[in-house]
Amino acid sequence: MDKPTVKAWLKYLRGTADYGLLYQANGEGVLKGYSNADYVGDVTTRRSRTGVVCTCAGGAVSWHSQKQKSVELSTTEYVAASEGAKDMMWLMSLFAEVTEVKQKPILFVDNMGAVKLSKIQSPTNVQITLKCNFTSFVKNTVRAKSTSCTSIAKTRRQRS
C-alpha cells in the first residue's frame, strides 16, 4: 500500500474506534441472510453488483459486496440470492460444528420473481445455469431442506 492509503485507513480507524457490533445473548438465534443486486450498476463493464449480509443474535456475522462475474440479462437478483444461499450454507455448517442449530435460516430477497423462481423446478427455466440455480440445489440437499427463501416486501407487509 502506498502512504496516502495507509494514512486514510489509520484516519478511518481512529474515527471509528467507538463503533462495534453488538450481539445479544438473549437475541434471536436465527440465521438471517439478506441479498440484493443492482442491475447493470457499472456502466463501463455492464456488470451488476451483488450484496449479501448474514445476521445472527442481532448482529452481522458475514457480509460482502462484489461485482457479478458475468453480465446478466435478467437474473441479477437470482444470482445475488444464490450467493446469499452459499454464504448461509457455509455459516450453517460452521454453527453446526459449534452448537445445535434449532431454527431454520431465512434468506430475504427483495425481488418476488427471484423468490418464485427459486421454488420452481421446471424445464422452462433451463436457460438459468447450474451456478444460478444454486438456490434450488440448496433446497434439495439434506441441510438446506430447512432453508426458507422469502421476499423482503412480503415481510414488510406482514409487520404493518
Q: What tens digit of pLDDT does each residue of 66-121 get? A: 887 777 655 677 777 778 888 888 888 888 888 877 777 888 877 666 666 666 55
pLDDT at 116: 63
pTM value is 0.62
**Which residues, including other chains, have CB under 8 Å from residue 93's CB and lie 6 or more apart?**
143
Q: What tens digit of pLDDT does each residue of 134-144 get? A: 555 455 443 33
Answer yes or no: is pLDDT of 15 > 90: yes
pLDDT at 93: 86
Q: Which is the CATH superfamily of the domain at 28-159? A: Ribonuclease H-like superfamily/Ribonuclease H (3.30.420.10)
Q: What percent of the chain lies above the pLDDT cut of 70?
A: 63
Q: Average pLDDT for residues 114-137, to the nearest whole number?
A: 53
29: amino acid identity, one letter: G
Does residue 22 or residue 62 have the better pLDDT? 62
Which residue ranges make up each domain of the chain?
A: 28-159
